[in-house]
Structure 1
Amino acid sequence: MTPEKTEGVELTPEEIRENLDCIEENVKRACQRTGRDPQEVTICAVSKLKPVEDIRAAMSAGQKLFGENYVQEIQQKYEILGNEAEWHMIGHLQRNKVKYIIDKVTLIHSVDSLPLAEQIEKEAAKHGKVMDVLLEVNIAGEESKWGFTAEETEEAAKTIGTLPHVRVRGLMTSAPYTEDAETNRVHFRNLRRLFDQLKNDSFPGVEPEILSMGMTGDYVVAVEEGSTMVRVGTGIFGARDYSKKN
């Protein structure tokens, strides 16, 4: 897993810029169809297994927020770019690796258990910071996916919200892979209901403003169903070569 060298589809800076423009336009149109303000939706550019040069190209096109799936990549890319970019941890996070990213990311999307939240609390306390997190919800009940069940989410938010150095900012899901984005609409709609319920609950330490759902294949449907953050990688940077993942 080396961000400095990735095979697969290599795009030019201009192609990356054009892709970003296309994503932004699609988000704008989805918002118009549903009476939303496009400013409510943030694009998180998923740069996993992509070189720093591609990130720089996206940054030159105005993109500042990048999501990474692997702790090692965040460390490597942060060493080069630092706070020039804003980094989010969007992949599955092991408790023993929290310490390596706690001072580098502004949001962890993938809190899928109380023990992980407690480890984030421990490491955030060492740095004297409050770590913003999202609770990962396995809204479709897939055996292959991490996350709280829909039934567990409310109680998890209430409990994690009591941790003084962790702030629950909302929910995240990775919907099932599908060739037809419409099939995920029901899952996005169900997560939106959970999100709205969480806002109504008013638990201490829970400030739900971010609903992270929708990726390259289904982000338009996700925005139509209320997503406030879409995680788009292939749609911006092109296909990845997973043989480069360690």
Structure 2
Amino acid sequence: MDEFANRWENVQKRIQQACHRVGRNPKEINVVAVTKYVDLETTKRALDLGLSHIGENKVQDSLPKMEAIGDRGVWHFIGRLQRNKVKDVIGRFRYLHSLDRPSLAEELDRRIRSRQCEPLRCFIQVNVSGETSKSGISPQELEEFALHVANYSTIDVVGLMTMAPIAEHPEEVRPVFRELKRLQEKIQRLNQPRLQIPHLSMGMSQDFDIAIEEGATWIRLGSVLVGRGKRGWKP
């Protein structure tokens, strides 16, 4: 078994253990292999191991991989999306984890309508921690923004996403994940048919165990799964 396969096996064990601690079914947990810093061969290896969900955060780096890989995999855009890059995302990525402002929702709607594409599955990004270095709508603005986005038939809001602060001890970020779960329940209580938001995208290499314990259904794993690769890798 190669190093990548070993890492994947270890991740699966940790998912099972985290689910066992809180009485969850491991089948509820979806893994996005974050390949933004690794090369094409590593991305292909992820697919070969059965990791069908691939996460990228830069359009210019992901497009060559997509062209080489063809129709394999389900692609997730996980970085902050600029409006001028929307045209390159539509029709290629099935999920967007960083819907965070009305202007982006408007541009997505315009582009999807013009190309007559299927609706884009989106997570609303919430800046739960309040860090200025992180993108995302504030918790206080979430309800109004979610109701606004629900008016776009071209956008399927499937859940909420957040990024926790980097902490010395993973336990320190538990309140961030717990708060996103609370916000999910708040939006669900609106009983808006287009805001059922069954999913939470939260948890990365350093804290995914805690995120699972607090309700994550999608975890985004880079170094702990695919390795560190090279920052700024270019095709």
CA distance in structure 1 between the aligned counterparts of 2:38 and 2:81, rounded to whole angstroms: 19
* 1:89 alignment counterpart: 77
Q: Aligned to 1:56, which of 39, 44, 55?
A: 44
Q: Partner amino acid for 1:215?
A: M
Determine helix, strand or coil for the equivalent of 2:128: coil
Runs of 4+ in 1 over 6 A off after TM superposition: none
The letter for the 1-side match of 2:200 is: L
SS at match of 2:70: helix
1:157 aligns with 2:149: no
- Superimposed CA distance per residue, residues 131-157 of structure 1 (whole angstroms, 9 cap, x where no aligned partner): 111100000000111100111111111
Question: Contact (CA 8 Å) 1:163, 1:205: kept in 2 or not?
Answer: no
Q: Give the corresponding residue for 1:34.
A: 22
1:108 equivalenced with 2:90 (yes/no): no
Shift in Å, 1:207: 3.2
Equivalent residue for 1:141, pick from 118, 130, 137: 130
Q: Give 1:237 deviation, angstroms.
A: 1.7
CA distance in 1 between partners of 2:76 and 2:232 (Å): 23
Aligned length: 234
**Displacement of 1:202:** 2.2
Task: Find the aligned partners of 1:84 and 1:243 in 2 and give their Cα distance.
Answer: 24
Query: Quick one: which amino acid aligns to residue 120 of structure 2?
Result: M
> What is the CA–CA distance in structure 2 between the aligned matches of 1:57 and 1:245, rounded to whole Å?
18
* Deviation readout 1:77-117 (Å, 9 max, x if unpaired): 11111221110000010011001011111110001101101
**For 2:194 and 2:232, how far apart are their aligned partners in 1?**
41
1:83 aligns to what SS in structure 2?
A: coil
Quote how far apart the aligned CAs of 1:55 are: 1.3
Provide the C-alpha distance between the structure 2 equivalents of 1:196 and 1:216, rounded to a whole number of angstroms.
25
Letter in 1 for 2:90: I
Single out whichever of 204-213 and 186-195 deviates more from structure 2.
204-213
> Does 1:20 find its partner at 2:8?
yes
Question: Structure 1 residue 18: deviation in Å?
Answer: 1.1
Q: Counterpart in 2 of 1:185?
A: 174
Determine the C-alpha separation between the residues in 1 that align with 2:185 and 2:24: 16
Contact 2:201 2:218 in 1 (8 A): yes
Alignment partner, residue 210 of structure 1 = 199
- Aligned residue in 2 for 1:5: none
**CA RMSD across the alignment:** 1.4
Supply the distance in 1 between the matched residues of 2:158 and 2:232 (Cα, whole angstroms). 34
TM-score (norm 1): 0.91
Instruction: State whether structure 2 residue 234 is matched by structure 1 residue 223.
Output: no
Contact 1:68 1:90 in 2 (8 A): yes
TM-score (norm 2): 0.96
CA distance in 1, matches of 2:141, 2:96: 19
Deviation (angstroms), 1:243: 4.5
Deviation at 1:245, TM superposition (A): 6.3
Contact 1:109–1:172 (CA under 8 A) maintained in structure 2: yes
Q: In the alignment, which of 120, 125, 132 is matched to residue 113 of structure 2?
A: 125
Between the aligned partners of 2:233 and 2:196, the Cα distance in structure 1 is 38
Q: Aligned partners of 2:210 and 2:9: how far apart in 1? A: 18
Residue type of the alignment partner of 2:102: L
> Is the contact made by 1:162 and 1:204 (CA closer than 8 Å) also made in structure 2?
no
